[in-house]
Amino acid sequence: MTRQRIIVLGAGVSGLTTAVTMALAGCDVAIHAAEGPGQTTSALAAAIWHPFYQAPDFVYLEQARQTYATMARLSADTSSGVLMRTLTEYFRRDAGVPWWAECARDLRRLPETDVPSRFACAYRMAVPVADTVIYLRYLMNMFLELGGRFEQQRVDDPASLLDDADYVVNCCGYGSRQFGDNALSLSRAIVLRARRDAAVRGCFIDDSDPAAPTYIVERDDDIVLGGTADPELTSTVIGDRQIADIVRRCTQLCEGVAVLRVIEARTGFRPMRRVARVAVDARHSRLLHNYGHGGGGFTLSWGCANDVLHLAGLATAN
């Protein structure tokens, strides 16, 4: 039986999970990307499973649920770079249990005595967190071990590759704007890396302000502090005032942040779209799209990859 030939464009988390999923389904898969995984936007992410800013949505919920389940399984493999961490999320308005909480393990509401007065409530749960350097390399190695091929090259027109494959899957993120998607925009993120310290254990989030998401993500080798969401800003200059503001906001969530030593400040650019595009191209039925996840790339990655598999008429991989 002839295997389906698939070309995946992009080597970020969406491209890698899509390529692995299709290889697991028995396809002959090649990744074409201008940059390796370590140079993508995904490599700069805090990579915590969490539906930032997202309004209730059943499609999003199912994609997030599948991703949570897969990453939780991967956390059992010490080489994956995925760990289950305790997340405490603070809410300024009490709307009850978060709409996406059914995906998470060990959910509990904190007693009022443990919640700072400026917040209405807080919930604690276990969520997957990925060390991006290790995790992206792990996905690439898995892909190659499944017989996949990586070709470092820039693609100007995805449709031009249709003669060489049964399906082409565009996972180029903001790069898809050059393919004609004017619904895409950029949102600049500033994140800090700090040395690990026993004063901070677990992860903390307050995303009540869309322009200033505040999060603390404990990883094996560092602690990530964030952040910002600056629409259409492309400058990579980071001022001392911006660093101080991130540290101040994070310290309000966890007092231990005050003793952390910041070792790096980085900028990344999220590909924003009102709704992520996981769909068949309107002009070419064998061109599929999987991009525009904003800050939800890691949260949705495996669920969206399974959706792409269905779009190609293939069974969901295990």
Residues at the binding site are: 41-42, 155, 215, 270, 294-299
Cβ–Cβ under 8 Å, residues 54 and 296 = yes
Cβ–Cβ under 8 Å, residues 25 and 309 = yes
Structure tokens at 131: 């060390």
DSSP label at residue 48: B
189: left (phi over 0), alpha (psi -120 to 50) or beta: beta
As a dihedral over the C-alpha atoms of residue 60, residue 273, residue 204, residue 298, rounded to 10 degrees, the angle is: 60
Cα–Cα distance, 291 to 102 (Å, whole number): 25
Cα–Cα distance, 293 to 299 (Å, whole number): 9
Cα–Cα distance, 301 to 303 (Å, whole number): 6
Bind-site residues for FAD: 41-42, 155, 294-299
Cα–Cα distance, 246 to 212 (Å, whole number): 9
Q: Which residue has the tokens 């370590």?
A: 38
The two counts, helices (H) then strands (E), for the chain are: 5, 15
DSSP label at residue 58: H
Cα–Cα distance, 238 to 222 (Å, whole number): 20
Query: Which of 206, 185, 207 shows the shortest CA–CA distance to 53?
Result: 207
Bind-site residues for D-dopa: 215, 270, 295
